[in-house]
Structure 1
Amino acid sequence: MKVTQPVRLTMVGGGSWATALVKILSENNVNIKWWLRKASDAEHIKKFGHNPSYLSDVQINTRKVKICTKIRDAVRDSDFIILAVPAAFVSDALKGLTPGHFAGKFVISAIKGMIPEANQLVTDWVSDRYGVPAERISVIAGPCHAEEVALEKQSYLTIASPDPTSAQKVADLLRCRFVQTTPVDDIYGIEYSAVMKNIIALACGITHGLGYGDNFQAVLVSNAMQEIKRFVDAVYPKHRDLSGSAYLGDLLVTAYSPFSRNRTFGTLIGRGYTIQSAQAEMNMIAEGYYAVKSIHAINEKFGVNMPITNAVYNILYERAAPTLEMNGLKGMLM
């Protein structure tokens, strides 16, 4: 896509993934309005050109990026809106906006979680609440960690939308010298898989915290891939190859990488931290903590065999002992 005039885009969120996406977009012909909740972070970026709270080594091109703390100002006159806040807080971030603010815009979810109170995918929630047509909604999937984007390591993104033209437009926006992008049409498969891989990363972290080795984790992840397929095929039947990078690749990097906040959260739980103390230790949101409750509730309707997801749910919400739950999994894995 050759662009003569800069694309006008709004980034919603001030965390590490939002910061990484701003860096990627700044490589291209894009004018960005970046909404941040924290006024102190906003002022710091305006003055010094970097985010003091996340990926502080990333230099922000302030000639291309305008910092905003008022959401209505941020979305005004934009062609694209990227949502990059934790799923649990997206409703609060968009507070005060109406369907009119989204009219004619493309909405892109970079959120790998579910709306907790509604047990909804972010894309469905945006469509229902703001009336955004499905063909104007896309999601960004990995495998891609914000920390590696900050280091300009070669990375890959998959852009999913039910409309191929929309997927291609977003893929073109995000492609740069160190990021390759691929457009696909399996938006629900991609989005559910992104949610599920965070739950699996929690399980991997828990086993790591308990002292399990690489052999067990390899079996856990391979069984998890089958579990994800069973669930995704049940809730949204479609021919799909889950060995692709947006499915298997994203699962692997989240399950194994030291940058994975879900794996880190799980590791703390496996080592005996309470949920509250693990959250305080990380000072970041592990989407899988909220997502496992939503997936568990959704699966009450479908009845898919999901032993790994059930184990994580029992540990986090039923206060089951991690040792007992993971011991119980041993005989279920193949």
Structure 2
Amino acid sequence: MSNKVTLLVAGSWGTALASVLADNGHDVYMWTRSNEQAAEINEQHTNARYLPGIILSERIRATNDMEEAVEGSQAIIIVAPSSAMRSVVQQLQPFYKKGTLIVHATKGFETATLKRMSVVISEELGCPEGDIVVLSGPSHAEEVVQKKPTTTVVASLNDELANRARDLFMNVNFRVYTNRDLLGVELAGAFKNIIALGAGMSDGLGFGDNAKAAIITRGLAEIARIGVEMGANPLTFSGLAGVGDLVVTATSKHSRNWRAGYSLGQGKPLQEVLDAMGMVVEGIRTTEAAHAISQKYNVQMPIADQLYKVLFTGKDSRTAVEALMGRDPKTEMEVMRLETWEQWHT
């Protein structure tokens, strides 16, 4: 079998995963649209815009030629932003060969269609969704590339493909579990970015750890409620892709979503925040998608709803958090609709 593995595209997370694969002895080709970025990676072995101060393995090579990137590759790892996923896979499609392992590690939805990334990839490559693997879990690129201990999950409807993906990435620093709940893992990874925005906004407002803990906890309930309604296994939301990823994204300054929320809490306009970040903040688009999804499934998502109003209707962030605290009293166990909860306990 070929030792070549391909990464699309060369952002921070893609570069971190390329480093894991290179550590495992693979020859890694990263595809990028930028000639300048490809030259930097190949000649200087750095990707300074995304991971400053990191020296990359000489096993990692970059190219802006899609055919060169994927020819002879045993696996293709897609880490394109959700907004660019369909476009990137359309460029991949002419060179895709059936049987090549496809893994994606993007946490978001296609906003216009509300489709998950595995659905978008399946449509464009003409392969079953069951032939796609998703990689998720609590994993900051900045720590992965420094070989700090990280634990993730790969999910697929096909156990053999999940095991292949696990073996591709697994090493002493990067532990990988498998999961058959592809739907739940994708939903958890996408929705948690909304809650991270909310947690950052609370911190930016100076509301303290008590408020942040409440947002994270109730946010998990919110994610699980809509996830189960959409058909996911509730146990997934208590695992690495659920609570694990939520905690790391909602509490760390490495998190773009937390940082964006923090700036919003300080009163900065959304466009100013995005310009300053210089990288994709998936939680913004996911909040827009979640607003439509909650209406489609008739499921309340109060945190997502208030963030939607802050991001897209100009609502004041302090007023939004106060609105959450002032909601009508509920019992804590009003997490999921009874009929969907019971289906997992019979």
Using structure 2 for the length normalisation, give the TM-score: 0.91
SS in 2 for 1:11: strand
- 1:72 counterpart residue number: 67
Per the TM alignment, residue 99 of structure 1 is displaced from its structure 2 partner at its CA by 6.1
Residue pairs, 1:321-332, within 5 angstroms? 321-332=316-327
Q: SS of the residue aligned with 1:96?
A: helix
> How many angstroms apart in 2 are the aligned matches of 1:319 and 1:203?
15
Q: Report the CA distance between 1:327 and its aligned residue.
A: 0.7
Partner of residue 228, structure 2: 233
How far apart, CA to CA, are the structure 2 residues paired with 1:309 and 1:13? 29
Give, in angstroms, the shift of residue 6 of structure 1.
4.7
Q: CA deviation at 1:241?
A: 4.5
Tell me: CA distance 1:213–1:298, structure 2 relative to 1, closer, same or farther (3 Å): same
Q: Give the one of 26, 29, 38 matched to 2:25.
A: 29
8 A Cα contact 1:23 1:58, kept in partner: no
Question: 2:86 touches 2:121 (CA, 8 Å); kept in 1?
Answer: no
How much identity, in percent, do the aligned residues show?
30
Which whole-Å CA distance do the structure 1 matches of 2:233 and 2:262 have between them? Answer: 34
Runs of 4+ displaced beyond 4 Å: none
Can you give the 5+ residue segments of structure 1 that lack an aligned partner in the other structure? none
- Other structure's SS at 2:6 match: strand
Greater mean alpha carbon deviation, residues 71-80 or residues 242-251 = 71-80
Residues 205-247 of structure 1: CA deviation (Å, up to 9, x unaligned): 1111111110011111111111111000001143525222221
2:39 aligned to which of 21, 39, 43: 43
Residue correspondence of structure 1 range 179-258 to structure 2 within 5 A: 179-238=174-233, 240-258=235-253
Cα distance in 1 between the residues matched to 2:288 and 2:48: 32
Q: Which residue of 1 aligns with 2:50?
A: 54
Residue type of the alignment partner of 1:146: A
Q: How many residues align?
A: 329
Q: Secondary structure at 1:177's aligned position in 2?
A: coil
1:41: Cα distance to partner? 1.1
Displacement of 1:101 in angstroms is 2.1
Instruction: Tell me how far apart the structure 2 counterparts of residues 314 and 103 of structure 1 sit (CA, whole Å).
Output: 44
Q: What's the CA shift string for 1:12-48, capped at 9, x where partnerless?
A: 0111101100110011132211101221111011111
Residue 157 of structure 1 is matched in structure 2 by 152
3-state SS of the aligned residue for 2:198?
A: helix
Counterpart CA distance in 2 for 1:98 and 1:51 is: 26
- d(CA) in 2 for partners of 1:172, 1:242: 24
The letter for the 1-side match of 2:194 is I
Counterpart Cα distance in 2 of 1:227 and 1:7: 42
Q: Contact between 1:208 and 1:270, CA under 8 Å: does it hold in 2?
A: yes
Kindly tell me: are residues 179 and 98 of structure 1, through their superposed partners in 2, closer, same or farther at Cα, counting changes over 3 Å?
closer
In structure 1, distance between residues paired with 2:94 and 2:119: 14
Q: What's the secondary structure of 2:238's corresponding residue?
A: coil
* Higher mean C-alpha displacement, 121-130 vs 74-83: 74-83
Cα 1:97–1:15, aligned 2, differ >3 Å: closer, same or farther?
closer
Q: If the length of structure 1 is used for normalisation, what is the TM-score? A: 0.94
**Counterparts of 1:266 and 1:149, CA distance in 2:** 23
Contact 1:6–1:31 (8 Å) recurs in 2: no
- Which amino acid in 1 is paired with 2:115? Q
Instruction: Give yes or no for the alignment of 1:107 onto 2:110.
Output: no
Q: Secondary structure at the match of 2:227?
A: helix
Task: State which of 245, 248, 265 in structure 2 corresponds to 1:270.
Answer: 265
1:138 aligns to 2:133 (yes or no): yes
Pair 1:319 & 2:318 matched: no
Q: Whole-Å Cα distance in 2 between the matches of residues 305 and 295 of structure 1?
A: 10
